[in-house]
Amino acid sequence: MNSSDQIQSETSDSILTLRINRPDKKNALNLAMYQNLADHLRPADRDDAVRVILISGGEECFTSGNDLADFLSAPPTGPESPVMQFLSAISETRKPLVAAVNGLAVGIGVTMLLHCDLVYVGNSATFQMPFVNLGLCPEAGSTLLLPRIMGHQRAAELLLLGEAFNAEKAQSVGIVTEICPDGDVLTVARNRALQLAAQPAAAVRLAKELLKRDYAPQLRETIAEEGKQFSTRLKSPEAAEALQAFMQRRKPDFSRFN
């Protein structure tokens, strides 16, 4: 494992493993980490030595989502921002993506799973998409993908209320391939990745492309539109209140905003 930074990467048996590793901040993704992920995903898609990409986090936390301090100090500015580069890389990767999720998956920790082909999660994994709770809007194409996967009403519940939900619910709404015992997630995901790596690579890529064919252009457009709205929302008084409340470890009060 190359552990020089908070994204550890390793290629073996034709599988590129990317491990999010910032345990002191619950694996929150900062700008350098998004950039690092994008910088691994893009070349891997062109590298014949890589046939499958496996994304994992720690044993207790997949990721707590975007670094909230970065939202204040270094908000995303446009398509060149590290988060947008990561989203365009993960959503356009032609090779199969496998995710191994233990513990918390928050915000982009959930929405990135919508771009993965196989998603294995531990039985005590917890999911949450608190974009609206933070005065922001959903991202990563989730406003297109979630209703497509589970229908409007279930997507609206998860996005508008932004409550945490467990692995059973995640599987029942269709965003999880399989629930595993917590200690087995990485092994199960890696075995499935090995199985995928042994499949005929061109046929796998073609099948993935065809699976996404009818919504790929709309997905690109949705990610861009959500990104624009998200940047605007970051400057809103609602988001300022939510982010300050997180830093001050108190409940936000949205009652004075309409």
Nearer to ligand COA, 36 or 66 (CB): 66
User: Shortest Cβ distance from residue 28 to ligand COA (Å)?
Assistant: 3
Question: Quick check: 101 and 128 in contact, CB under 8 A?
Answer: no
What one-character DSSP code corresponds to residue 115?
G
- Distance, in Å, from the CA atom of 197 to the CA atom of 190, rounded to the nearest integer, reads 10
User: Shortest Cβ distance from residue 134 to ligand COA (Å)?
Assistant: 6
When asked if residue 233 is in the footprint of ligand COA (CB under 6 A), the reply is no
User: According to CB under 6 A, which residues from 12 to 51 bind ligand COA?
Assistant: 25-26, 28
Phi, psi of 249 (to 5 degrees): 50, 50
- 15, containing H or E segment: strand 15-20
User: Shortest Cβ distance from residue 2 to ligand COA (Å)?
Assistant: 24
- Tell me which residue of 224, 196, 198, 185 sits closest to 92, measured CA to CA: 224
* Contact flags string 58-77 toward ligand COA, x per CB under 6 A: ------xxxxxx--------
Distances (CA, A) of 177 to 114, 120, 256: 11, 6, 42
User: Shortest Cβ distance from residue 26 to ligand COA (Å)?
Assistant: 4
Kindly state the number of chain residues that form the binding site for ligand COA, as judged by CB under 6 A: 15
Using CB positions, name the residue nearest to ligand COA.
107
User: Shortest Cβ distance from residue 62 to ligand COA (Å)?
Assistant: 10
The greatest distance separating any two alpha carbons of the chain, rounded to the nearest whole angstrom, comes to: 58
Residues near ligand COA (CB under 6 A):
25-26, 28, 64-69, 104, 106-107, 130-131, 134
